[in-house]
């Protein structure tokens, strides 16, 4: 079931659910035990989602000596559809931003699949196959963290669906991290499977590294050359940092 209509009904520039509402009413969740992870693949629809949704966890696991890789499904060229900025240039800029963010997190440069930004619902099968090939060589019990199938953004939901299919045979443990859910959903929202949610215990140093990595995404943090509002205004970033990192497992 898609939550796309709910996301579309709450434009980003209108603020969405405020951080204070989440902090006041969000219940405590069981902690995700990181000790059982032999390797991690973080699948991001666009360069920045891996950092926004799971960057501190990825950095923490890498510091512990766990192999971590980022898979960037698109190069993010559709971020500002009405901008006069050349799409190819934006893709190059966003790939470079993703590489800088990964370096800040202590990770290798992302693997870029180059699928079309904004069109992933049409490429779920191809993405499933690509992820399956990547995961097939991983140690048994490896983790695959992808955006939640109900996150609201069509590309995010498509990535979640593909990752779920790729993990269906048990080759990897699927974890789904929300990004835009915090914008459109409400505390105790019936559209959110709270009973499946776990919170990641994070050190302040990992959160600080995540904050620094987010700063690498300048194209998303500032208005487009055509004046379109930033995709990631300050309140969106602050909200994500405040609620921490959680997964549906």
Structure tokens at 122: 């049409």
**What are the tens digits of pLDDT across the range 168-227?**
989 899 999 999 999 999 999 999 999 999 999 999 999 999 999 999 999 999 988 777
Residue 90 has pLDDT above 90, yes or no: no
Q: Quick check: pTM over 0.75?
A: yes
Assigned CATH for 4-248? 3.40.50.10320
Q: Please tell me the predicted confidence (pLDDT) of residue 224.
A: 80
Residue 26 has pLDDT above 80, yes or no: no
Residue 83 has pLDDT above 70, yes or no: no
**What are the tens digits of pLDDT across the range 235-245?**
999 999 999 99
* Domain boundaries of the chain, sorted by first residue: 4-248
Residue 27 has pLDDT above 80, yes or no: no
What is the percentage of the chain residues whose pLDDT exceeds 70? 98
The residue-averaged pLDDT of 119-128 equals 97
Q: Please tell me the predicted confidence (pLDDT) of residue 10.
A: 96
Q: Please tell me the predicted confidence (pLDDT) of residue 160.
A: 98
Q: Please tell me the predicted confidence (pLDDT) of residue 238.
A: 97
**CA–CA separation, 193 and 50 (whole Å):** 21
Residue 56 has pLDDT above 80, yes or no: yes
The answer to whether the beta carbons of residues 68 and 62 sit under 8 Å apart is yes
The dihedrals phi and psi of 174, each to the nearest 5 degrees, come to: -85, 130
pLDDT confidence tier of residue 71, bands split at 50, 70 and 90: very high
Q: Please tell me the predicted confidence (pLDDT) of residue 86.
A: 73
The residue-averaged pLDDT of 32-42 equals 97
Q: Please tell me the predicted confidence (pLDDT) of residue 77.
A: 83
Residue 84 has pLDDT above 70, yes or no: no
Q: Please tell me the predicted confidence (pLDDT) of residue 225.
A: 78
Residue 107 has pLDDT above 80, yes or no: yes
What value does the mean pLDDT of the chain take?
94
């Amino acid at each position: 079931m898609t939550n796309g209509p709910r996301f579309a009904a709450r434009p980003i520039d209108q603020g969405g659910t405020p951080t204070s509402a989440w902090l006041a009413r969000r219940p405590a969740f069981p902690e995700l035990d990181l000790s059982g992870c032999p390797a991690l693949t973080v699948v991001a629809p666009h360069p920045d989602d891996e950092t926004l949704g799971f960057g501190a966890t990825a950095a923490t696991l890498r510091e512990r000596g766990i192999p971590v890789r980022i898979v960037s499904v698109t190069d993010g060229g559709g971020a500002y559809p009405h901008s006069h900025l050349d799409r190819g240039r934006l893709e190059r800029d966003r790939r470079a931003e993703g590489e800088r963010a990964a370096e800040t997190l202590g990770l290798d440069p992302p693997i870029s699949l180059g699928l079309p930004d904004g069109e992933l619902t049409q490429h779920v099968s191809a993405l499933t196959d690509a992820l399956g090939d990547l995961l097939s060589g991983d140690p048994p019990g490896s983790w695959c963290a992808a955006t939640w199938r109900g996150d609201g953004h069509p590309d995010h939901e498509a990535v979640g669906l593909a990752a779920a299919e790729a993990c269906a045979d048990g080759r990897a443990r699927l974890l789904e991290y929300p990004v835009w859910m915090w914008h459109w959903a409400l505390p105790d929202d019936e559209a959110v499977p709270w009973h499946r949610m776990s919170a990641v215990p994070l050190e302040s140093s990992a959160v600080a590294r995540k904050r620094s990595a987010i700063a690498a995404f300048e194209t998303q943090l500032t208005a487009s050359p055509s004046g379109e509002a930033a995709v990631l205004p300050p309140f969106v970033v602050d909200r994500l940092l405040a609620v921490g990192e959680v997964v549906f497992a």
